[in-house]
Amino acid sequence: MRAAVAALVALLALASASVSSGAPPNAADLESQLVCPVCETTLDQSNAPIAQRMKTIIRARIAAGESEQQIKDELVAQFGSGVLAKPPGGGFGLLAWLLPIAAVAGGAVAAALLIRAWSHRQPPAREDEERLDPGLERLVDDELARFDR
């Protein structure tokens, strides 16, 4: 039974992948995945002349039947890898993905260690406190005893 369910899930995954790969790329999706090199916002939010030129290139390449990856590769070749809103998954791009995650994890560990240290801090020992003069201590005890009556 488990094998049948696993086979069905695998078949559905392959079928959905083949259906999605056969569809032509969507200009709006591509514009949200690419960044204007001038104003450094995604193309769907930019009205800079270079962004307008990139949008024209995208629409022309979609009409020519190119895939999403081919269009991205062409724009990266023309404008550099900085046009990708999502950094590549390998090399230096991998550092762009891992560094923020490592910083957040390191901050969480540091905060946990500080909280643990603060919660386990012991109050100073009583013997470290300064003792009163014996005569003064007797006077304080006598006064306190007077209030107890």
Q: What are the pLDDT digits (tens) for 19-46?
A: 445 677 888 888 888 888 888 888 888 8
Domain of residue 112 covers 88-119
∠ CA 14-15-17, rounded to 5°: 65
Per-residue confidence band for 120, with pLDDT thresholds at 50, 70 and 90: confident
Same domain, 68 and 37: yes
Same domain, 76 and 52: yes
**Structural domain total, the chain:** 2
Same domain, 56 and 38: yes
Q: What is the mean pLDDT of residues 116-135?
A: 75
Same domain, 79 and 92: no
Q: Phi, psi (5° rounding) for residue 144?
A: -65, -35
Pair of tokens at residue 129: 């406190």
Secondary structure class of 124 (helix, strand, coil): coil
